[in-house]
Homo-oligomer: A and B are copies of this chain.
Amino acid sequence: MALRHAVLAALLDGEFSGYQLAKAFDVGVANFWYARPQQLYAELTRLERDGLVAGREVPQDGRPNKRLFHVTEAGLAELEAFTAASAKPAFVRDDLLVKVQAADRVDVDDLVAQLSERARIAQAKIDLFENLLHRLRGERTETEFLRHGDRVGPYLTCLRGVAFERENRDWCTRTIAVLEERRQVHARH
């Protein structure tokens, strides 16, 4: 059960409503996890029931009220415990890899189309993450910020996100190149 810890970690940066969290966890702006709104509302309910987060109703005019959540002492303790427990290694589990695995037996055009779409999405994420990194470190250089900034967690996870998406993009373009070239080689015989 790690979504709950992901939510706790996200709430370390301040108070957020379910809706705000949903937006962050949706596109992957919260680059360290991903979840649907429904899941978040459900999880927040459970977290509150267990006393790991507390919410306060904030009335708004012209809009529905919202509930802003923050982590409690018990929540922090839970995060500590979670961090101490060992994590099993993560692996890539990607439809696109399955398709490429079958590359020699399926339609190359389909594959190339999907690979370039994926490269495009990866690039979009890179831009997004790099913006976020810039916002986080402000005027400081990266080294400076990582040494003296008072909250580097989100920055570090974001670095992982950028690296992942760069790899993703580069692998896609390279794979496209390989498939295209093989098609030409094939055509000559």
Chain A residues engaging chain B, CB cutoff 8 angstroms: 2, 5-6, 8-10, 12, 28, 31-34, 76, 79-80, 82-84, 86-107, 110-111, 114, 117-118, 121-122, 146-148, 150-154, 156-157, 159-161, 163-164, 167, 170-171, 174-175, 178, 181-182, 185
| Inter-subunit contact A182/B147 (CB<8 Å) | yes
Q: What are 26 pairs between A and B in contact, CB < 8 Å?
A: A2-B98, A9-B98, A10-B101, A12-B104, A28-B91, A32-B101, A33-B93, A33-B98, A76-B105, A80-B106, A82-B99, A83-B102, A84-B110, A86-B114, A87-B114, A88-B95, A89-B121, A90-B92, A90-B94, A90-B95, A92-B160, A97-B160, A103-B153, A105-B153, A152-B182, A164-B167
**A12, B105: Cα distance in complex, Å:** 8
CB distance from A54 to the nearest CB of B (A): 17
Contact (A98, B32) CB under 8 Å given A86-B117, A92-B160: yes
A110 cross-chain contacts in B, Cβ below 8 A: 83-84
| Inter-subunit contact A83/B101 (CB<8 Å) | no
6 extra interface residue pairs, beta carbon distance < 8 Å, beyond A89-B122, A97-B160, A164-B164: A5-B98, A9-B99, A83-B110, A86-B114, A87-B96, A104-B151
**A89, B97: Cα distance in complex, Å:** 11
Main SS class of interface, A: helix
Closest to A153 in B: B103
